[in-house]
């Protein structure tokens, strides 16, 4: 008996044990237009997998979408023992369903879970379960470029107890939502505000993990600045440029040596290792047309380059938008204009957007594609 419990405790769940219960009351599909709000058109089903310290992982279930019962003393409500991920499923012209580099999301999910003392799991088995959920929700994936199925795996500690401790119970679940294009009418360049008195992350912290504690503190600051006409915050860490809102930040410039260079912040533990970030670095290295650098650079270096006309373009990068062109940066009450060669974006920004979309929607074959069906 004890041996079976030990094996169960030390192992992950298996996709082979997946139980499926389909809804008898399917929801109406959303209208595909610019009024479709991100993450609100939730699908009919969810994936749910429970864990306890005594029994280990339960078998995975796909069930009709439902609310969870949670104790008011659950650890997630008091100490933030949670993490999440975000990825998308795309319908190709040949009616295949593709995911974009989901193995990177799964690896990051495991690291985030470990950072908040949640139990380990087999990321390959989780991806297989998510594949099955996507197959069931296939009708929610529009046959229209720009539209996709957003997939949100989430993991939280839910044991009841007010002591600060490692979770003794946990729930891993995944919900999905039909989403539209980030820029339904074309690129809309953003104005970044840079404030060196606030920080998103700090050395030795959890800035490279996808946990709610990295997002909640910035919501109020962002809302305040948006009311003043700015779009996002260009975060700093000890004067070093960090992220743009919830996106990784890139600048394409002539560096101090006069070389054309695409630069982004190095992964020093304060930067989220974005899937889109890594993909941009991989693609541009394949092109081999200019220097690509992951390095630390300060806001003062960036402002100096803007003052001296060395910045060619700048953009944020993330799953929701792919790339988001930057038109202005404000720092110390001075506004710096960022060039937009195409009027609403830089040439490199547009090229990256087009290339990644071609991969995501299967217009070309690429190693970044994960075939679901």
Q: Where are the alpha helices (DSSP H) in the chain?
A: 2-10, 75-79, 102-115, 123-136, 216-226, 275-287, 299-307, 347-360
Q: Of 354, 319, 352, which Cα lies nearest the Cα of 39?
A: 319
Q: Report pLDDT for 7.
A: 45
What pLDDT does 4 receive?
47
Mean pLDDT across the chain, nearest whole number? 96
Average the pLDDT over 346-363 and give the result.
99
pLDDT class for 10, splitting at 50, 70, 90?
very low
Which pLDDT value is given to residue 5? 47
Average pLDDT for residues 281-287, to the nearest whole number?
Answer: 99
**What is the percent of the chain with per-residue pLDDT over 70, rounded to a whole number?**
97
pLDDT at 11: 73
Structural element, H or E, at residue 301? helix 299-307
Average of per-residue pLDDT across 57-73: 98
Fold for the domain defined by 2-181: D-amino Acid Aminotransferase; Chain A, domain 1 (3.30.470)
Instruction: Report the pLDDT value the prediction gives residue 185, as an integer from 0 to 100.
Output: 80
Residue indicated by tokens 């864990």? 51
DSSP letter, residue 349: H
Fold of the CATH domain 190-360 = D-amino Acid Aminotransferase; Chain A, domain 2 (3.20.10)
Q: Could you report the per-residue pLDDT of 121-156, keeping only the tens digit for each?
A: 999 999 999 999 999 999 999 999 999 999 999 999
Residue from 140, 164, 167 nearest 151 by CA: 140
All structural domains of the chain with their residue ranges:
2-181, 190-360
For residues 282 and 230, the answer to whether their CB atoms sit within 8 Å is: no
CA dihedral 60, 61, 67, 70 (to 10 degrees): -30
Q: 264 and 252 in contact (C-beta within 8 Å)?
A: no
Res 6 pLDDT > 80: no
Instruction: Give the tens place of pLDDT for each residue, 78-95.
Output: 999 999 999 999 999 999
The arithmetic mean of pLDDT across residues 317-343, rounded, is 98
pLDDT at 184: 84
Structure tokens at 42: 């939730």
pLDDT at 2 over 90: no
Task: Report the chain's terminal Cα–Cα distance, integer Å.
Answer: 40
Share of the chain above pLDDT 90, in %: 95
């Amino acid at each position: 008996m004890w041996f079976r419990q030990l094996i169960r405790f030390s192992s992950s769940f298996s996709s082979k044990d997946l139980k499926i219960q389909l809804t008898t009351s399917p929801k109406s599909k959303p209208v595909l237009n610019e009024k479709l709000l991100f993450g609100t058109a939730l699908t009919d089903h969810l994936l749910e997998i429970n864990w306890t310290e005594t029994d280990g992982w339960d078998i995975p279930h796909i069930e009709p979408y439902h609310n969870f019962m949670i104790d008011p003393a659950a650890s997630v409500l008091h100490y933030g023992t949670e993490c999440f991920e975000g990825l998308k499923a795309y319908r190709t012209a040949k009616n295949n369903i593709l995911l974009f580099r989901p193995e990177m999301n799964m690896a990051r999910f495991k690291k985030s879970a470990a950072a908040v003392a949640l139990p380990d799991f087999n990321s390959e088995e989780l991806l297989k379960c998510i594949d099955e959920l996507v197959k069931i929700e296939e009708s929610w994936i529009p046959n229209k470029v720009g539209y996709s199925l957003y997939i949100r795996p989430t993991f939280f500690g839910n044991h009841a107890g007010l002591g600060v401790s490692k979770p003794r119970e946990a729930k891993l679940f995944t919900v999905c939502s039909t989403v539209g294009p980030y820029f339904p009418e074309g690129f809309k360049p953003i104005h970044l505000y840079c404030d060196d008195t606030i920080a998103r992350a700090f050395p030795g912290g959890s800035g490279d993990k996808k946990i709610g504690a990295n997002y909640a503190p910035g919501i109020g600051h962002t809302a305040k600045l948006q009311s003043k006409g700015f779009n996002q915050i260009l975060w700093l860490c000890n004067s070093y440029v960090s992220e743009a809102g919830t996106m990784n930040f890139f600048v394409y410039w002539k560096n101090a040596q006069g070389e054309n260079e695409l630069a982004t912040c190095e992964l020093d533990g304060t930067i989220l290792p974005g899937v889109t970030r890594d993909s941009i670095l991989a693609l541009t290295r394949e092109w081999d047309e200019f220097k690509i650098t992951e390095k630390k650079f300060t806001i003062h270096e960036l402002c100096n380059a803007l003052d001296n006309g060395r910045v060619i373009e700048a953009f944020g990068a993330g799953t929701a938008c792919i790339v988001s062109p930057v038109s202005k940066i404000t720092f110390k009450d001075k506004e710096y204009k960022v060039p937009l060669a195409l009027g609403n974006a830089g040439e490199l920004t547009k090229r990256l957007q087009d290339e990644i979309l071609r991969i995501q929607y299967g217009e070309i074959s690429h190693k970044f594609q994960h075939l679901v069906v």
